Amino acid sequence: MKLYLKISINKTAMKKIILVLALLFSLNAFSQDKEAFISLQFSDKSVSLYPFYKTFSVGLAPAITIAIDRELSYPLKSNLINSLELTWYNHKMIGAGLTFISNIGYKYQLNNGLHIEPKIGAGYNVFYPARELFVLNELGEYESKNILHFTFAGSVGLGIGYQVGRIAIYTQYSYMIERKYNGILPFLPTSLLGVGIKYQISSL
């Protein structure tokens, strides 16, 4: 018996992804010549019923985030921030995938080098589920159906960091709701808790 792998990509989902990317590029154009940061973050991803609650413990579920932050105003003590985050993750219950989020945040700089940054964002999650679904096709053979999933994601987060010169270390918590995860779970709440490092560059 042969097994065939088939990737089914929803055209409506692809149109939404293109629209999100267009909005992101417009934000980047608006924030040119402002201070910018690149960052690398290591996190633990978990399934959470509500913020700061870990529902299913599967050990360490690694997630790595690469982000670009840009200030939407000239350097002040408090600034609006636009951040673009790309996160790879691997979770035993969810699967492995990539999440792309665009955030709008508010960065408040304290006098002692600390800063606090709440943020809210939206984007898309693309992933291979932990369990594949095999169905019979018209030839009477089993094939894998919809192994690549696209879901809309909304998130809120809070980061606290300390900057010296161009380098900052920080910790960040993000809570995310993924829409239409599967037929059983129309919404999947997840969270990321991690630490990272940022490097300040003049502009992008």
**Mean pLDDT value of segment 7-29:** 53
Between residues 137 and 108, the one the model is more confident about = 108
Please report which confidence band the pLDDT of residue 3 belongs to, taking 50, 70 and 90 as the band edges: very low
Question: 3-state SS of the chain: helix, strand, coil percent to 5?
Answer: 10, 60, 30
CA distances to 30, 68, 76, 82, 171 from 101, rounded to whole Å, are 18, 11, 25, 10, 18
The pTM for the full model equals 0.72
DSSP 7: -
Structural domain 4-201, CATH architecture: Beta Barrel (2.40)
For residue 29, the SS3 value is: helix
Q: Distance between CA 44 and CA 148 in Å, rounded?
A: 23
Residue 11 has pLDDT above 70, yes or no: no
Q: Distance between CA 126 and CA 130 in Å, rounded?
A: 13
pLDDT at 86: 94
Do 36 and 166 touch, CB atoms closer than 8 A? no
How do residues 58-114 score in pLDDT, each as one tens digit?
667 899 999 999 887 766 678 888 999 999 998 887 788 899 999 999 988 887 889
The DSSP element (H or E) to which 151 belongs, if any, is strand 149-164
Residue 188 is encoded by which pair of tokens? Answer: 């999947």
Within 13 Å and on the Cβ side, how many CA atoms surround 76? Answer: 9
How do residues 47-71 score in pLDDT, each as one tens digit?
876 665 665 556 678 999 999 998 8
Task: Kindly list the domain boundaries of the chain, sorted by start residue.
Answer: 4-201
How do residues 156-174 score in pLDDT, each as one tens digit?
999 999 988 889 999 999 9
